[in-house]
Homo-oligomer: A and B are copies of this chain.
Amino acid sequence: MLQGKHGFALTPLTADKTTRLQRNAQYKKIEQADIDYFHSILPEESILEESSCPQDHYLSFLTDWYNLYRGSSAVVLLPTTTDQVLAILKYCNDHHIAVVPQSGNTSASGGSVPVFDEIVVSTKKMEKIRSFDPLSGALVCDAGCNLETLDTYLAQHGYQIPLDLPAKHLCRIGGNAATNAGGIRQMRFGNLHGSIMGLEVVLADGTVLDNLSTMRKDNTGYHLKNLFIGSEGTLGYITAVSIQAVRIRPAVNVLMIGFPSYDHVVQAYDLCKKRLSETISAFEVLDQDSMRCVKQVGFQVPEGSPFPISSDEAFYVVMETAGSIEEDEAKRVQNFLDELRSSDIATDGAIATTAEARESFWSWRTKLPPAIVQTGPHSIHFDISMPIPKLYQVVYDTRDWMNKQGIIGRDVVAVYGYGHVGDGNLHLTIPALIDSEELREKIDEFIYTWLTQYSGSVSAEHGIGLMKAPYLTYTKSLTMVNQMQRIKTMFDPNGILNPYKVFPQEHELLEGQAVKKRVQAARCGC
């Protein structure tokens, strides 16, 4: 039997299980003549066809990282140049062929795989570094460059990419830009709207926006690049990125700290920003269940490393600072930990003293997503953003509601809560034992309705993709969505780029608004 990702059974075709979408008949079904055309403009190795490609390899382009979505695509194209992308899109636009721009295919929202029969156009063969300036740190590279590879390249020059993700070995910079990826160190480096200096983008009609500025400051007209950052491939195909790399700070400290409650975590965060604001680079929280999950799955690296804290805590924080002078940083971090302990904010804590220990401390956090995925074949995943003090309450309330409904233990394994406290960004992962759209929708609605009370975001960093499209108006107003629609129509009038993604269906738009009104009315008592 063919396997899906993480060793699970291959997920069924999205087309067969989705109830909210139908294939849009305006898109042409691919014929042999289309494939012949692609052969006329691309070298042999840039075209994969289902009939002549190892099935596992072919499926890797059609299924998402969580093994939740699967599309079918008559052909997968892997152009190597911007001109090839131009030729592909122009042809697809002229013939109304729907396209999924795909980069590392690590989307956590089902945004990077076909829903029906859209063709995949992958960045995987666009991997050239175009230029790097070691004085300014300006890096210009193809969209298909892998994030880890870029970091390895930059490290030779004392630089790093201002973005770090657990999926860095898999993801690619074009996809990072297209989804405005956040990750572990956003609290230090800020978002990609701040650090990307320019993009090269091919529009649906083949127009190339040559905006690869390497200048930190360039106020010459509208900052069009920002429209494409976070547009999830629906406005244009990113072929190259210019990004401001940052200097590596060599004096790195990693801590693991235990806390008796989430309120104590928030106090520690506030103190940390006061004492260590110039060097703090990560402040990641894991709840007790999450940490137990990593321990059970036994994913820690290097293998056999002891767990840094002896007691069993309600919450753990993995924290990192990065400065220039080892002695100074070590002292600052030790003082901070002492202050946490003496003021009874933290129960226990440890500082990694070797490179191996730092890696091991980090692994308890970075190995969590794959560990959770192992515990149930159908992960239901949330990536919400909210005011920090309220951030964790949603986990308690979801567990209570699920217990009352008899969902935990029967339909789902558990509710895991973890994430980037410093950014007000929590992930809830709920591994499910059954593959049920109904269950997913029920949980979605509970959590997104809860969130609406605090004007939270249904997607902090993973984007909307396919998964969260029905819930866009839980966060964004109808006015905002209308303006987004106008921009979409302007850049992609035939709607060939990543269809079915980001935008809700008509009735979902209204439902989202209705929920928001109801929740807000209940809050103000009117």
The contact string, 1 if C-beta is below 8 Å from chain B, for chain A 192-211, is: 01110000000000011111
| Complex: chain B residue closest to A487, CB-CB | B222
Choose the segment among A54-62, A98-106, A317-325, A393-401 that binds chain B (4+ C-beta atoms closer than 8 Å). Answer: A317-325
A457 touches B217 (CB 8 A): yes
Min distance, Cβ A132 to any Cβ of chain B, angstroms: 12
B222 touches A230 (CB 8 A): yes
B424 touches A216 (CB 8 A): yes
CA distance A328 to B333 in the complex (A): 13
Task: Tell me the chain A residues, 203-259 only, with Cβ under 8 Å from chain B.
Answer: 207-211, 213-224, 226-227, 229-231, 235, 246-247, 249
Task: Tell me the chain A residues, 414-473 only, with Cβ under 8 Å from chain B.
Answer: 420, 423-425, 456-464, 468, 472
Q: Does chain B have a CB within 8 A of A507?
A: no
The contact of A217 among B389, B425, B479, by CB within 8 Å, is B425
Choose the segment among A36-44, A141-149, A271-279 that binds chain B (4+ C-beta atoms closer than 8 Å). Answer: A271-279
CA distance A487 to B247 in the complex (A): 36
| Residues of B contacting A332 in the complex (Cβ-Cβ under 8 angstroms) | 324-325, 328
| Residues of B contacting A475 in the complex (Cβ-Cβ under 8 angstroms) | 218, 220
CA distance A277 to B208 in the complex (A): 36
Min distance, Cβ A172 to any Cβ of chain B, angstroms: 18
B464 touches A219 (CB 8 A): yes
B324 touches A182 (CB 8 A): no
The contact string, 1 if C-beta is below 8 Å from chain B, for chain A 130-148, is: 0001011000000000000
| Residues of B contacting A277 in the complex (Cβ-Cβ under 8 angstroms) | 246-247, 249, 324
A215 touches B135 (CB 8 A): no
Q: Does chain B have a CB within 8 A of A481?
A: yes
CA distance A229 to B222 in the complex (A): 8
The contact string, 1 if C-beta is below 8 Å from chain B, for chain A 274-293, is: 11111100000000000000
A275 touches B194 (CB 8 A): no
Q: Does chain B have a CB within 8 A of A125?
A: no
| Residues of B contacting A476 in the complex (Cβ-Cβ under 8 angstroms) | 220-221
B209 touches A479 (CB 8 A): yes
| Residues of B contacting A480 in the complex (Cβ-Cβ under 8 angstroms) | 209-211, 221, 224
Min distance, Cβ A405 to any Cβ of chain B, angstroms: 27
Min distance, Cβ A353 to any Cβ of chain B, angstroms: 20
Min distance, Cβ A52 to any Cβ of chain B, angstroms: 37
| Complex: chain B residue closest to A328, CB-CB | B328
The tally of residues in A whose CB lies under 8 Å from a CB in B reads 88
CA distance A230 to B193 in the complex (A): 13
B387 touches A219 (CB 8 A): no
| Complex: chain B residue closest to A191, CB-CB | B194
| Complex: chain B residue closest to A273, CB-CB | B247
| Residues of B contacting A247 in the complex (Cβ-Cβ under 8 angstroms) | 273-274, 277
The contact of A218 among B249, B279, B460, by CB within 8 Å, is B460
Min distance, Cβ A187 to any Cβ of chain B, angstroms: 8
| Residues of B contacting A324 in the complex (Cβ-Cβ under 8 angstroms) | 275-278, 332
CA distance A149 to B400 in the complex (A): 46
Min distance, Cβ A305 to any Cβ of chain B, angstroms: 29
Q: Does chain B have a CB within 8 A of A386?
A: yes
B136 touches A386 (CB 8 A): no
Q: Could you say which of A136, A195, A222, A472 has the most chain B C-beta atoms within 10 Å of its C-beta?
A: A222
Q: Does chain B have a CB within 8 A of A22?
A: no
B227 touches A223 (CB 8 A): yes
B463 touches A219 (CB 8 A): yes
The contact of A459 among B220, B235, B460, B486, by CB within 8 Å, is B220
Q: Does chain B have a CB within 8 A of A347?
A: no
Min distance, Cβ A164 to any Cβ of chain B, angstroms: 15
| Complex: chain B residue closest to A503, CB-CB | B221
Min distance, Cβ A155 to any Cβ of chain B, angstroms: 14
B207 touches A136 (CB 8 A): no
A219 touches B459 (CB 8 A): yes
8 tightest Cβ-Cβ pairs between the two chains A and B: A194-B194, A226-B226, A217-B460, A218-B457, A190-B194, A215-B385, A247-B277, A193-B193
* Besides the known contacts A135-B387, A220-B475, A227-B227, 14 further A-B residue pairs in the complex with CB atoms under 8 A apart: A133-B387, A135-B266, A135-B269, A193-B194, A213-B457, A219-B462, A219-B464, A221-B464, A221-B472, A221-B502, A222-B484, A223-B226, A224-B487, A276-B324
Interface residues of A (CB under 8 A from B): 133, 135-136, 158, 179-180, 182, 186-187, 190-191, 193-195, 207-211, 213-224, 226-227, 229-231, 235, 246-247, 249, 266, 269-270, 273-279, 322-325, 328, 332, 385-389, 420, 423-425, 456-464, 468, 472, 475-477, 479-481, 483-484, 486-487, 490, 502
Q: List 26 A-B contacts (CB under 8 A).
A: A136-B424, A158-B274, A209-B479, A211-B480, A213-B457, A214-B387, A216-B425, A218-B457, A218-B459, A219-B230, A219-B459, A219-B461, A219-B463, A220-B464, A221-B464, A221-B480, A222-B487, A224-B227, A227-B227, A247-B277, A277-B324, A278-B278, A278-B279, A325-B328, A487-B490, A490-B490
